[in-house]
Amino acid sequence: MVEESAQQEAAEAKQSSYRWTDADPRPFYRMYLAAEDDQVKAALVEDGKCLSKAKLDGRNSEDLPITFFAALAEKWNSDWVASTPILPTLHGDFEKEISIGPEDVQQPVTTEYITKKWKNDKMLLARLVSRYEGSGHGFGMIDGRTTFGHMTEEALQADDRKDYLWEQFSEKPRHLLLWHLSDQFAKEVEEKKKKAKRKKTSDDSSSDSDQDGAFKFRASLADSQQEQAYQSAMENLQNATTRLTHDRLDLMRHRRHNPDDDESELLLADQVRLQEEIVNKLKSRVESMEKKKASD
């Protein structure tokens, strides 16, 4: 315990004199790629589960499973060398592989620091995804298609997501990589769910006739697709609403601190109006889906 405490203090002291900046994206790349580790993914899945009463009673125990951010920091602080994928159609920054070892970035990081950086970049990514999907590329075009806005093979042929980056508002090419990796993880989870559902459907229908079993599977699959589309719609609406709140706050702060900068105020006001249109469109879509669910 004494050694761990000393290591934590050393990490905090070192981190206090160093900050990740937009000028060098390598620390962010290393953080994103660390989340691809199987143990870190497992910690993320566990974080999403509700704790039982026994686990809640012992939540301060050292035997409690490691949290996602603690696992992320642990992976970062290891001697592992990260390598970015080659994604030339995503952005020019990813035309070549970039290797990032411990010697290439400041070491080590604390769990608190990496938590702050991860959450901040996820918030910026949510804004980017909301704008991209609100432009007609994402949710709301074809019912049941939950892959819009995702890095599918089809999208790779003409990926224009980089055109929706607003770098003047802190969005950077690195967020496209986080989007790509997040989609990969979501796809893995979805595939596992589908396999488990197919197995359960197969087991449930083993005592029925072949025709009855096929009917159950098709009905289950249709319900699953509708639920996925609805959950995707709700998530998009939440992200868009969060983005609208941030945009309105940005406009208010600008008016307070820069009352004479009319040009920037017009830009921010236009951004708020655009985001309001996106939110209203998504609200209408969600309401339509809820009415359909109620009538089924």
Give average pLDDT by consecutive 10-residue segment, the chain, 296 residues: 56 58 91 92 75 59 78 93 91 91 87 93 86 64 46 56 77 89 83 77 60 52 63 78 83 82 82 86 83 73
Q: Which domain holds residue 128?
A: 2-295
Cβ proximity of 35 and 72 under 8 Å? yes
Q: Tokens 């609805």 belong to which residue? A: 230
177 closest CA partner among 47, 88, 44: 88
Locate 170 and state its tokens.
């802190």
- The rounded radius of gyration (Å) of the Cα atoms in the chain is 22
Cβ proximity of 100 and 25 under 8 Å? no
Other CB atoms within a 10 A radius of the CB of residue 220 amount to: 16
**Peptide linkage before 259 cis (omega within 30 of 0):** no
End-to-end CA distance of the chain: 58
Question: Residue 131 burial (CB < 10 Å; 0-12/13-18/19+)?
Answer: buried
pLDDT of residue 141: 41
Q: How many domains does the chain have?
A: 1
pLDDT of residue 145: 45
